[in-house]
Amino acid sequence: MSDAKTIESVMDERRRFPPSKEFSESAHIKSKETYEEMYRGSIRDPVAFWEKWAKEIDWYTPWTKTFDWDPKEVRIEWFRGGKLNASHNCLDRHARSWRKNKAALIWQGEPENDVRTFTYQQLLAEVCKFANVLKSKGVKKGDRVAIYLPMIPELPIAMLACARIGAIHSIVFGGFSSESLKDRIADSGCKILITADGSYRGGKLVALKANGDIALAKEHYVENVVVVKRTGIPVEMKEGRDTWWHDEMETASTVCEPEVMDAEDPLFILYTSGSTGKPKGVLHTTGGYMLYVLLTFKWIFDYRDEDTFWCTADIGWITGHSYIVYGPLAAGATTVMFEGIPTYPQVDRYWRIVEKFKVNIFYTAPTAIRALMREGEKWPGSRDLSSIRLLGSVGEAINPEAWMWYYNVIGGGKCPIVDTWWQTETGGILITPLPGATVLKPGCATVPFFGIDPGILREDATEADINEGGYLVIKKPWPGIMRTVYGQHERFKDIYWTRFPGVYLTGDGARRDEDGDIWIVGRVDDVIKVSGHRIGAAEVESALVSHKDVAEAAVVPMPHPIKGEAIFAFVTLKAGVPEREELKKELIQHVRQQVGPIAAPEMIQFANALPKTRSGKIMRRILRRIATGNVEELGDTTTLADPSVVDKLVSSRKELVK
């Protein structure tokens, strides 16, 4: 056994929730034994496994080689020579079947009365029209198209239109700044920009076209801008470059034959931005990605044809790409799309929408769950949530107390929760319960999906012991994995494949318990070294949130003259709980009891809110600098949902050290 330990596990969660007999009997994957048999086969002979299930999607021409993998150059190919089209798989094959008049997309705008529903044949017609608009602008196979839109139907229509003609879409989240948009347009060399006059957000109007104009004031490749009129905000239209979406669509034909694409032709680029460095253009290709998102959607969410599925993510993130658009539509599902935020005009907005559309499968982020949990049970309790039969969690590890609230209050103690772990780079879900087969554990990602071969490694690349944290890696490529960083293949190799040669480095820490189930303990970068012990931030945060008065917590390292590093905790209390010094002492004692003295925070700062991106992720980079007093170099805060949160935290931190 090696002593090169990576992360010490401090959390001990013992609650267990096996699937009900009723759920298992009707599920796609009906038992643990069925899962294990399928999983063993997928690892023993992945080529045979993926060949078998590739028949779930439509191919114009069969592939000549299922899998090719060069570990040295990190060249990955699935279904070489196979021909297909993503738009065809999402639309045409359903529009020509009994599903033609089935709702494909239900859109709920921020204003309550803004609702639009598209059947499969209606959505196909709209996509064909915009595909023809793109072609009229000179866009062809391989060209890059920037899409900078709010959560309105024109967003999936534009992305599917790109896929239809073989153009590569690069969607930029509508909350990003003009500078972020400029960088992404320039890096991928986009030929055209699709944007809107503005968007609604929490009752306010946000200008988008103006941001686009600023982005295009500098060097770029954009020749045309198509603008959706969403809010009526006055905009400047540049003669010869800018046109209105509705004018273009008025005369466009509803017929557009899909481009025949190779399985390894690019489908989209999606930029990820870490805490430092230039954003990475994650490139996904067509065949493997489409197969992977279809199967993960169908089996993990146990989708049935009569279900209404709602993923609350923004399509500007990978979750929206995979589980609002490509996965559900490839499966012939009814997918809900929401423009607004969960707390406007009241904090029951999510539950009103569930009740309104009788949502059966609900998929959201832990940060949203914790924010709504903070407001109490009266809001979901006043709505009829009985249609829900399955819940999902995505974006980060969910702490056990939020999991229990979600299970009991939203699911009524009867709905399985699929706590899914994956990344922009992975294309689809990698580690997750299968709801009819897996015993659930609050806060545990549980088991790998088919074909996913995970390892948990120490610093010296040896396998970690049971309940010993380490680097989470994936040992073999799967169909949905990214193929490269756009235009920077060496960067792809260096970031993901060099630390442990030949395996994919996720950047997350994890541990395996006695049952072999996998627990995610957060980003390896979020490990805090206390007196030589490496403590995962996520487990300390879970301990804090398990206290009855705490809604949310984030912990970061702070320098300590003896311990090297100590734990600094930012704590958001539940609504109505007063801030007091005695409570800080109580929370420190609570962590000592829950996980041990080594994990007790050295300092606690109460925070009305934490700095989050508009996708809901806590920006720990900013918290680390506030904790250390390095407030002069907070970096870019333009992507925060509410930048004023930072000013309040900085002010409170100064008061703390007086």
Residue pair 154/229 in contact (Cβ under 8 Å)? The answer is no
Length of the chain (residues) = 658
From 605, 590, 586, 597, select the one nearest 533 (Cα to Cα): 597
pTM: 0.86
Give which of 147, 149, 95, 148 is closest to 125, Cα–Cα: 95
Lateral strand order in the sheet of 390-393: 115-119, 103-108, 334-338, 308-311, 361-364, 390-393, 417-419
How large is the average pLDDT for residues 535-559?
87
**Containing H/E element for 24?**
helix 21-26
Question: What is the pLDDT confidence band of residue 1, given thresholds at 50, 70 and 90?
Answer: very low
- Domains of the chain plus CATH, in order, are 13-85+260-267+280-312+322-453+475-508 (3.40.50.12780), 531-656 (3.30.300.30)
What's the rounded Cα separation, in Å, for the pair 491 and 270? 15
User: Is pLDDT at 489 greater than 80 in this prediction?
Assistant: yes
CA atoms of 300 and 10, how far apart (whole Å): 29
The contacts of residue 408 (CB under 8 Å, 6+ apart) are none
Q: Are strands 144-148 and 334-338 parallel, antiparallel or unpaired?
A: unpaired
Q: Is the pLDDT of residue 3 over 70?
A: no
Which whole number is the average pLDDT over 245-253?
97
User: CA–CA separation, 194 vs 161, rounded Å?
Assistant: 12
For residue 162, pLDDT beyond 90: yes
Contact call for residues 430 and 422 (beta carbons, < 8 A): yes
Least confident among 113-127, 172-186, 416-430:
172-186
Closest CA to 434 of 12, 23, 15: 23
Residue 410 pLDDT > 60, yes or no? yes
Q: Residue 618, SS3?
A: strand
The pLDDT tens digits of the residues spanning 341-362 come to 999 999 999 999 999 999 999 9
Q: What is the residue whose two structure tokens read 């045309």? A: 224
Nearest Cα to 9, choosing from 420, 532, 404, 599?
599
Condensed to tens digits (0 to 9), the pLDDT of residues 87-119 reads 999 999 999 999 999 999 999 999 999 999 999
List C-alpha distances in Å: 356 to 303, 305, 350, 386: 20, 19, 10, 12
Q: What is the tens place of the pLDDT at every residue in 176-231?
A: 888 889 989 999 999 999 999 999 999 999 999 999 999 999 777 899 999 999 99
Q: Which two tokens stand for residue 535?
A: 């403590």
**Does the structure show a pLDDT above 70 at 532?**
no
Are the beta carbons of 536 and 522 closer than 8 angstroms?
yes
Peptide bond into 62 cis (omega under 30): no
Rounded to whole angstroms, how far apart are CA atoms 267 and 117?
A: 26
Chain centre distance of CA 462: 30
Helix (H, G, I), strand (E, B) or coil at 398: coil
**pLDDT score of 176:** 81
Beta strands in 412-517 (DSSP E): 417-419, 454-457, 468-474, 484-485, 504-512
Is the alpha carbon torsion for 464, 467, 471, 476 positive or negative? positive
pLDDT at 274 > cutoff 70: no
Beta bridge partners of residue 558, listed in sequence order: 566
Can you give the pLDDT at residue 9? 58
* Confidence (pLDDT) at 6: 60
Q: Which percentage of the chain shows pLDDT scores above 90?
A: 75
* Angstrom distance (rounded) from CA 244 to CA 378: 44
Place of tokens 């409570």: 583
Residue 167: pLDDT over 90? yes
Q: Quick one: pLDDT at residue 638?
A: 61
Q: Summarize the confidence of residues 304-321 as an average pLDDT.
A: 96
**Which is nearest to 467 in space by CA: 16, 7, 15, 3?**
7
CA gap 274, 311 in Å, rounded: 24
Angle at CA of residue 160, ends 193 and 430, nearest 5°: 110
pLDDT digits (tens, 9 = 90+) for 35-70: 999 999 999 999 999 999 999 999 999 999 999 999
> 34: exposed, middle or buried (C-beta count within 10 Å: 0-12, 13-18, 19+)?
middle
The angle, 0 to 180 degrees and rounded to 10, between the axes of the packed helices 32-44 and 46-53 is 110
**122 sits in which H/E element:** helix 120-136
